[in-house]
Structure 1
Amino acid sequence: MPSAAPTGSPTESPTERWDVHSLPRAGGKTFLVTGGNAGIGYFVAEQLAGTGATVVLGSRDPGRADAAVASIRSRVPGARVRHIRLDLADLSSLEASAEALGLDRLDAVVHNAGVKFDQPPRRETGDGHEAMFGINHLGHFALTHWLAPLLTAAPEGRVITTGSFAAMSERLDLDDLESTRDYEPERTYGRSKLAQMLFGFELDRRLKAVGSTVRSVVTHPGGALDSLTPSRPPLHVRTPGERLRGLPAGILVQGKDAAAWPAVRAVLDPSISGGELWTPRHFALRGTPRRRPVRGHLADAEVAAHLWSASHDLTGLEPRFGPA
């Protein structure tokens, strides 16, 4: 991440204390984690459940969601965790997903779910959108629309948007957001994650403009490998051989349990303000979470505003917030 500030920069107080292994209590709060049944999202949900909060997993697959709920309950005594059906590829279903929460307020949503395709051909959602852009960005954009009243009803609601290191070297093509003319899987994925990050920063600008108490924070998990991730059977099983083979990579990257830390901190830390970017500490790839400056193309408000307008046109929806 070329724009990252060096360790010890003024972006973080040297007296700041945050223990990823001793999180503040959050009893009485409710958090939604999209894609919380697997990967990084699972560990975000497991760690948040340990705070005493109610955690809702948003998942397309009820069987995998049930397994994730059972795994969390086996590791977090008394965990308050459940799941709802959430299919970000089906925009028409998202209103029902928000209603299925059955809540008067939602304290935070972690926009974590996503897909990545490594090979052509170009794929589309049932709504006709390029799949990575449609699920990773448009699905979360539309979901935020339906969650806005619940987030506004919370004392300090939060929208946590998960970006990626893959976004740092990409630029959006505003004339071809869905890669109809120029489809290359790695580039299209990176652009979908960049769209998510730009959405998070633009949402912050719009929240501040209307005096909302909701905060929009952007994170990215750094580098995360299965071989460095602790087992959570049947969701993920790491053999001793895989663990040994992955150890050298631990110099640069980490497991998915540690990759969850930036999002968990963005949900819980009361000192975090809207519009901030949180990443792993070391080269934005591994380590405990820290705040990074928002620079370069991530700070391009004009591109972000164009993306917002295009997303509105493509979904027919727009996240709207007002004062609490």
Structure 2
Amino acid sequence: MTGWTADQIPDQRGRVAVVTGATSGLGLVTATELARHGAHVVLAVRNTAAGDEVARRIGGDVEVRELDLASLGSVREFAAKLRADHTTVDLLVNNAGVVLLGPRRTSADGLELQLATNMLGHFALTGLLLDTLSAATSARVVSLSSITHKRAHLDFDDLMSERDYRASPAYGRSKLATTLFGLELDRRLRATSSPVISVLAHPGLTRTNLTPRAWEHRGRLGRVIARGGLLVTQSVEQGTLPQLLAATGPDVRGGQFFGPSGLGETRGRVVEARLGPEARDPAVARRLWTAAEELTGVRYL
């Protein structure tokens, strides 16, 4: 892994890759590199006009499909249409995410918006595409975590943050939920001898349009990071490397978690990252899985 770069991505020809949130930031770089290495890339995006523009810029074998992860109806429609057109999916990159400021907001289904978009929408999408992933030879699901998951805690008596809502901690909880989902998914896949693996990655502190929002309410250090991002963050190309390695590395194993190596995993070369304490608890993951099935109506494994 030392010095791993996108130039080391193996040939992706013949593979179908779905990337959520692919019109900017990490998703855009991920989709671009996968297409550059020969994959048929599905840009799963809310704004199809922006997606069309990105597809023109990327070139290669790229298609655009509408997906709003904050709407379970949209997730179901996207999955049904994709399954009708593609008998196999080799790679699902659960990249899309939102970071909110200000008061609590809800999704089309009445769920807290950050949890709905960042984790629950991807939980439903993965479940609805699992048979299509299983039909591929060696499929992967890559879910995007964050270093903010390490301090987060899930309150199952207030999972939707109705009693105590603060935007920044709610974002951290959504990323803890994503991390727990990715790890529990891998445990369940292995238990059923599935050919699919689930892998996790985080970008450290990367200069995307989400970085200032994620950090500006996290005390003095967070405000410094938000205002002086160029000094402490890394480029989006560097920040995307953990999820690109997770998606394409030939020696990657299910359950691995990749992130930057330096300065508290904020930037640097790609290494295996450290999980936060609650993310390491399978009992919490199982409880979250049950809650996610009830909230989304999607049951699998």
TM-score when scaled to structure 2? 0.89
User: In structure 1, the residue corresponding to 2:270 is in which secondary structure?
Assistant: strand
Aligned counterpart, 2:288: 307
In structure 2, which of residues 237, 241, 260 is the aligned counterpart of residue 261 of structure 1?
Answer: 241
Give 1:155's match in structure 2, choosing from 122, 137, 145. Answer: 137
Query: Which of the numbers 220, 226, 232 marks the counterpart of 1:252?
Result: 232
Deviation at 1:126, TM superposition (A): 1.3
Match of 1:109 among 92, 98, 102: 92
Match of 2:216 in 1: none
How far apart are the structure 1 equivalents of 2:206 and 2:4? Answer: 21
Following the alignment from structure 2 to structure 1, what is the Cα–Cα distance between the partners of residues 71 and 233? 33
Q: Superposed, which structure 2 residues align to 1:11-50 within 5 Å?
A: 18-50=4-36
Matched letter for residue 72 of structure 1: I
Matched, 1:172 2:154: yes
- 2:106 is the counterpart of 1:124: yes
For the residues of structure 2 that align with 1:22 and 1:140, how far apart are their CA atoms? 28
SS of structure 1 residue aligned to 2:189? helix
CA offset at residue 168 of structure 1? 1.3
The residue aligned with 2:277 is 296
Task: State how far apart, in whole Å, the 2-side matches of 1:147 and 1:304 are.
Answer: 21
Q: Are positions 1:100 and 2:86 aligned together?
A: no
CA RMSD of aligned residues (A): 1.9
* C-alpha spacing 1:194/1:82, structure 2 compared with 1 (3 Å): same
The answer for the alignment partner of 1:81 in structure 2 is 62
Q: Is the contact made by 2:3 and 2:269 (CA closer than 8 Å) also made in structure 1? A: no
In structure 2, what is the equivalent of residue 64 of structure 1? Answer: 50
Alignment partners' CA distance in 2, 1:112 and 1:56: 13
The structure richer in helix per residue is: 2
For 1:184 and 1:194, the matched residues in 2 are separated by 15
Amino acid at match of 2:48: P
Quote how far apart the aligned CAs of 1:249 are.
5.2
Aligned residue for 1:7? Answer: none
Name the SS for the 2:154 alignment partner.
Answer: coil
Q: Tell me the distance in 1 between the aligned counterparts of 2:229 and 2:102.
A: 25
Segments of 4+ moved more than 4 angstroms = 248-251
Residue 58 of structure 1 aligns to a residue whose secondary structure is strand
Q: Answer whether contact 2:6 2:33 (CA < 8 A) is retained.
A: no
Residue ranges of structure 1 left out of the alignment (5+ in a row): 1-11, 74-78, 230-245
- The alignment-based identity, stated in percent, is 38
Could you tell me how far 1:100 is from its partner in structure 2? 2.6
Please tell me whether the aligned partners of residues 208 and 236 of structure 2 are also in contact (alpha carbons under 8 angstroms). yes
Aligned partners of 2:299, 2:64: CA distance in 1, in Å? 25
Secondary structure at 1:318's aligned position in 2? coil
How far does the alpha carbon of each residue in 1:267-319 deviate from its partner, in whole angstroms, 9 at most, with x for none? 11121101111001223111222112445221110111000001111111123
Whether the 8 Å CA contact 1:29–1:106 is kept in 2: the answer is yes
Aligned residues: 282
Q: What is the identity, as a one-letter code, of the residue corresponding to 1:285?
A: T
The answer to whether 1:52 aligns with 2:33 is no
Q: Deviations over 1:43-66 (max 9, x none)?
A: 111111111111111001111111
CA positional deviation for 1:257:
1.8
